[in-house]
A and B are shown apart, each in its own frame.
Chain A
Amino acid sequence: DIQMTQSPSSLSASVGDRVTITCRASQSISSYLNWYQQKPGKAPNLLIYGATNLQSGVPSRFSGSGSGTDFSLTIGSLQPEDFATYYCQQSYSNVMYTFGQGTKLEIK
């Protein structure tokens, strides 16, 4: 099974900060890595697919990078609406998918 490990588990930042969240796979997953944002009481929202591709409608301050085992999600300049929990998800094995444990981004 492919395990996904996110870091940090939680993060405090201020509006306007640049923030990076990382996700590591237990084996190479090429670029089959997706990122989601989830706000309390809401369904997750797809931000990035294929490690680097911005989903339609998602602000350009969100970007993704990485391949193989190490990936990152960067928010260029935090906005108040960006405070949420972020999850990575591997889709390399199209028989079995895995989510990371989540990173909670809080206001400092």
Chain B
Amino acid sequence: QITLQESGPTLVKPTQTLTLTCTFSGFSLSSSGVGVGWIRQSPGKALEWLTHIYWNDNKGYSPSLMSRLTITKDTSKNQVVLIMTNMDPVDTATYYCAHLRASRSYEFDYWGRGTLVTVSS
């Protein structure tokens, strides 16, 4: 059974750096065809893909946020970390991590519950 859980601060100040951790079970990020992605959703808005990382350490970043994002994995801990710099109130959103099934059509087939991050002074 695959599960994912996001953790990190619920409140950050403008200009601060956000670090979120996705801790997962039921799969290994060293297995071929597996990845983890981060997706966010501002209140009342659509889903926005941010970044993902594959088992082979290949990564993808949203072009509009690329300069502010870093994704890393720790296979031994079953964790993926998202770092977003220079946070702004417009970054207030629920942040989801999701299992990426890269062996088929690159779909997010399991999701965490999400964590709401508020950016405010």
Interface set of A (CB-CB < 8 Å, partner B): 1, 31-34, 36, 38, 43-46, 49-51, 53, 55, 87, 89, 91, 94-102
12 A-B residue pairs with Cβ-Cβ distance under 8 Å, sorted by A, are: A1-B63, A33-B105, A43-B111, A43-B113, A44-B47, A44-B111, A49-B101, A49-B107, A55-B107, A89-B49, A99-B39, A99-B46
Contact B109 A100 (CB under 8 A): no
- A residues less than 8 Å from B47 (CB atoms): 36, 38, 44, 87, 89, 99, 102
- State the Cβ distance, B102 to closest chain A Cβ, in Å: 7
Take A43-B96, A43-B113, A99-B46 as given contacts and tell me if A91 and B106 are in contact as well, using a CB distance cutoff of 8 Å.
yes
Select the residue from B63, B102, B105, B106 with max chain A CB neighbours within 10 A: B105
Which residue of B has the minimal Cβ distance to A98?
B49
Interface set of B (CB-CB < 8 Å, partner A): 37, 39, 46-49, 52, 58, 60-63, 96, 98, 101-102, 104-109, 111-114
Where chain B touches its partner, the secondary structure class is strand
Contact A94 B49 (CB under 8 A): no
Contact A99 B49 (CB under 8 A): yes
14 additional A-B residue pairs with CB within 8 Å, beyond A94-B60, A96-B60:
A1-B63, A43-B111, A44-B47, A44-B108, A49-B105, A51-B105, A87-B46, A87-B47, A94-B102, A94-B106, A95-B58, A97-B106, A99-B48, A100-B46
Query: Which 4 A-B pairs rank lowest in CB-CB distance, beginning with the nearest?
Result: A91-B106, A50-B105, A43-B111, A49-B107
- B residues less than 8 Å from A51 (CB atoms): 105
- State the Cβ distance, A62 to closest chain B Cβ, in Å: 14
Contact A101 B46 (CB under 8 A): yes
Which residue of B has the minimal Cβ distance to A44?
B111
Which residue of A has the minimal Cβ distance to B110?
A46
CA–CA, A100 to B96, complex, Å? 17
Contact A97 B52 (CB under 8 A): yes
